[in-house]
Amino acid sequence: MSKTIPMWSCVVNRSIFNHWNRLCNIDAGLTSDDDGDNIRKLLDKWDCSLHLPLWVSNTERASIEARLDEWTRELDESGADIASLASCLRKPLRPLWVSQKTVIWLNEVPEHDSWDFTPLILVSASASGELQNRTSSEFSWNYIPGAGDDEESWARGLSPNVFWTHVDDLIHSGPDLCNQKVAEIVENDRVYRAHRGQEAPQVVVKCSKSNGGVNHAKSDEILCLSAQIPKVDEERLVFWLSSTNLAVGASQVACKETSIDCILNCDQNPISVPVSYLEEHLHLPMKGSKFDRFSISRNLPPAVNFAKLKMSSGKKVLVCCQDGEDISICVCLAILMSLFNEEGAFDGGKSFEEKSITKMDMRRMLIFICKYAVNARPSRGNLKQVFGFLSSHRENSDE
């Protein structure tokens, strides 16, 4: 929150500024005078400067500022949909920092519409008391390394998506009933995922001591509450990647998708397929990089060969994994990089054999995938395996 988010806020602001600037220059004779004036007024007030907290040193600031133009250029060239972002973000992003020591007089906070920026409120969960293993500075709050990342110690089973889905209910429940409300929400979500065939272990939390006469659950209690099973929205679990005949999704709905011809299952668990369908199905169990650093790279050669064989005859292929968000995304990335040209047309690997793959090439293709598979979140370790596979495969072809 001290450097990464401020850096990328600035880069996004600069990229949006470049977009509007190019639009003004290209469409100078096509837009009305009023539209041109509005864009120029927007650009005049658009803040592209770097905003860091006071505790970041001047040396670090200078080092970051020296790379901002490079990062902005890479974002502009990556294929990211800056135009859509520019159309809805009417004021530049700017981070604000809030800690447990921050005092805010609500009656003195101006109305949001009067601000000349879009605020990113960065809230630190680090405690301000006398705690060991902390770092502090003249300007910052007391910081416990890893406190924000170690969510299993304080989130009580909540994930970001579940939290934001129920944020109003949680806030309105108040301090006394908050933990009980969290337990109900987490259990509802657990049953929901279990019903979909996803991994859904019971959540164990270390509950705090009783406070103010409120009865809390016993320490290390398993959250088991009655829960209603929501209806599964299966349409959101399969995403077609433009017109490539390649789809990505979750394994629990793979056999229910009627518009596919072949299934490449990367889940560790097999799925049920009809006997007549066996030749159109390949099961390659894969683990994430946290559990096996080479699982994906070992399985990518047969995965790409399977896709090449099936797609050469015009068949539609679904790549699936347990959640459809990580491993299957990486496998689709390898398939698209290996078998498709830069225009997105299947060529069986001809263009891949004629050029060297760079990280920027892979980044552009990943951005293309994310435009369609909106829940994609491949891990860094898994992406490294894909890049390693593409690099080694290209070197072997040269030899």
Residues 217 and 304: beta-carbon distance below 8 Å: no
| Domain encompassing residue 102 | 3-149
Mean pLDDT of 353-374: 89
* 242: CATH: 3.90.190.10
Mean pLDDT of 144-157: 65
Are 134 and 156 found together in one domain? no
Helix (H) and strand (E) counts in the chain: 12, 9
- Give the per-residue pLDDT at 225: 39
Over the chain, what is the mean pLDDT? 81
Report how far residue 306's alpha carbon sits from residue 281's, in angstroms, rounded to the nearest whole number: 9
Torsion angles phi and psi, residue 257, rounded to 5: -80, 115
Residues 371 and 81: beta-carbon distance below 8 Å: yes
Residue 230 placed within a domain: no
Q: Which of 361, 308, 366, 372 is nearest to 339 (CA)?
A: 308
171 burial via Cβ count (<10 Å: 0-12, 13-18, 19+): exposed
Say whether pLDDT at 147 is over 70: no
Residue 228 placed within a domain: no
Residue 221 placed within a domain: no
- Give the per-residue pLDDT at 231: 38
Are 179 and 292 found together in one domain? no
Are 260 and 314 found together in one domain? yes
Lowest average pLDDT, out of 115-124, 152-161, 167-176, 232-241, goes to 232-241
Mean pLDDT of 317-332: 93
Are 131 and 39 found together in one domain? yes
Are 195 and 264 found together in one domain? no
Report how far residue 68's alpha carbon sits from residue 76's, in angstroms, rounded to the nearest whole number: 12
3-state secondary structure of 196: coil
Residues 55 and 139: beta-carbon distance below 8 Å: yes
Residue 11 placed within a domain: yes
Are 334 and 375 found together in one domain? yes
Are 140 and 158 found together in one domain? no
Are 139 and 182 found together in one domain? no
Residue 204 placed within a domain: no
Report how far residue 82's alpha carbon sits from residue 20's, in angstroms, rounded to the nearest whole number: 10
Are 291 and 346 found together in one domain? yes
Pairwise pLDDT comparison (391 vs 37), residue with the higher score: 391
Pairwise pLDDT comparison (153 vs 283), residue with the higher score: 283
3-state helix, strand, coil in the chain (%, to 5): 45, 10, 40
Of 199, 225, 258, the position where a domain reaches its end is 199
Q: Show the tokens assigned to 349.
A: 């690997």
Are 46 and 18 found together in one domain? yes
Report how far residue 289's alpha carbon sits from residue 385's, in angstroms, rounded to the nearest whole number: 8
Under 8 Å CB-to-CB from 208, ≥6 apart: which residues? 179, 216
Confidence of residue 382 (pLDDT cuts 50, 70, 90): very high
- Give the per-residue pLDDT at 51: 95
Residues 144 and 127: beta-carbon distance below 8 Å: yes
- Give the per-residue pLDDT at 150: 61
What one-letter code names the amino acid at 252?
A: Q
Are 181 and 303 found together in one domain? no
Q: Which of 332, 165, 152 is nearest to 238 (CA)?
A: 332
Alpha helices in 148-264 (DSSP H): 160-165, 167-195
Mean pLDDT of 77-93: 89
Pairwise pLDDT comparison (35 vs 330), residue with the higher score: 330
Lowest average pLDDT, out of 36-45, 83-92, 211-220, 254-263, goes to 211-220
Mean pLDDT of 275-303: 89
What one-letter code names the amino acid at 297?
A: S
| Stretch (H or E) spanning 221 | strand 221-222
Residue 143 placed within a domain: yes
Residue 79 placed within a domain: yes
- Max Cα–Cα distance, the chain, nearest Å: 74
Are 133 and 174 found together in one domain? no
Of 126, 149, 172, the position where a domain reaches its end is 149
Of 90, 124, 149, the position where a domain reaches its end is 149
Residue 264 placed within a domain: yes
In the chain, how many domains are there?
A: 3
Pairwise pLDDT comparison (205 vs 222), residue with the higher score: 205
Confidence of residue 41 (pLDDT cuts 50, 70, 90): confident
Report how far residue 164's alpha carbon sits from residue 98's, in angstroms, rounded to the nearest whole number: 19
What one-letter code names the amino acid at 85?
A: L
Pairwise pLDDT comparison (153 vs 365), residue with the higher score: 365
